[in-house]
Amino acid sequence: MRDAGMKILILLLLFSPWLHAQDSSIHTSLTDAEEIQAGEAVARDFIQHEGMEPTPQTKKIDAYLQAVGDRVAAHAQRKLPYQFRFDPNPGFKSAGGFPGGQVFVGAGILAYMDTEDQLAMVLAHEIEHIALSHCHERLIKVMTEQHISSKDLGKLTVDPFLDGYGHDKEFAADREGVNLAMEAGYSADAAIRLLRTFIILGEQMPNAPKEAKNNLEVRITQIESTRDASKLPKPIAEKPLALP
Ligand SMILES: [Zn+2]
Give the model confidence (pLDDT) of 131-177 as tens digits.
Answer: 999 999 999 999 999 999 999 999 999 999 999 999 999 999 999 99
Dist CA 16 CA 18 (whole Å): 6
pLDDT at 8: 47
Residues with CB under 5 A from ligand 1 (ion): 170, 173
pLDDT of residue 26: 57
Ligand 1 centroid from CA 125, angstroms? 6
* CA contacts within 13 A on the Cβ side of 137: 9
Which residues in the chain come in under a pLDDT of 50? 1-2, 8-25
Give 182-205 pLDDT, tens digit per residue. Answer: 999 999 999 999 999 999 999 998
What pLDDT, on a 0 to 100 scale, did the predictor assign at position 19? 44
Residue type present at position 115: T
Distance 152 CA to ligand 1 centre (A): 27
Q: Cβ contacts of residue 78 below 8 Å, gap of 6+?
A: 32, 130, 131, 133
Please give the radius of gyration of the chain, using alpha carbons only, rounded to the nearest integer: 20
CB 123 within 8 A of CB 105: yes
**pLDDT of amino acid 211:** 87
Distances (CA, A) of 154 to 44, 138, 146, 186, 197: 9, 16, 13, 37, 38
Cα 31 to ligand 1 centre (Å): 23
Q: Which class for 144: exposed (0-12), middle (13-18), buried (19 or more C-beta within 10 A)?
A: middle
Residues 6+ apart with CB under 8 A from 159: none
Instruction: Report the Cα–Cα distance between both ends of the chain, in Å, rounded.
Output: 49
CA of 175 to the centre of ligand 1 (A): 11
- What's the pLDDT score for residue 27? 61
> How far is ligand 1, taken at its centre, from the CA of residue 193, in Å?
17
Ligand 1 centroid distance, CA of 115 (Å): 20
| pLDDT of 21 | 40
Three-class DSSP category at 85: strand
Q: What is the DSSP letter of 242?
A: -
**What is the structure's pLDDT at 4?**
52
Ligand 1 centroid distance, CA of 126 (Å): 6
* Per-residue pLDDT at 54: 96
237 C-alpha to ligand 1 centroid (Å): 26
* pLDDT at site 29: 79
**What is the DSSP code string of 104-140?**
EEEHHHHTT--BHHHHHHHHHHHHHHHHTTHHHHHHH
- Measured in angstroms, how far is the CA atom of residue 118 from the centroid of ligand 1? 15
- Answer yes or no: are the C-beta atoms of 38 and 100 closer than 8 Å: yes
Distances (CA, A) of 149 to 26, 85, 145, 203: 9, 28, 11, 46
* Beta-strand relationship, 102-106 and 83-87: parallel
Q: What's the gap in Å between 173 CA and the centre of ligand 1?
A: 6
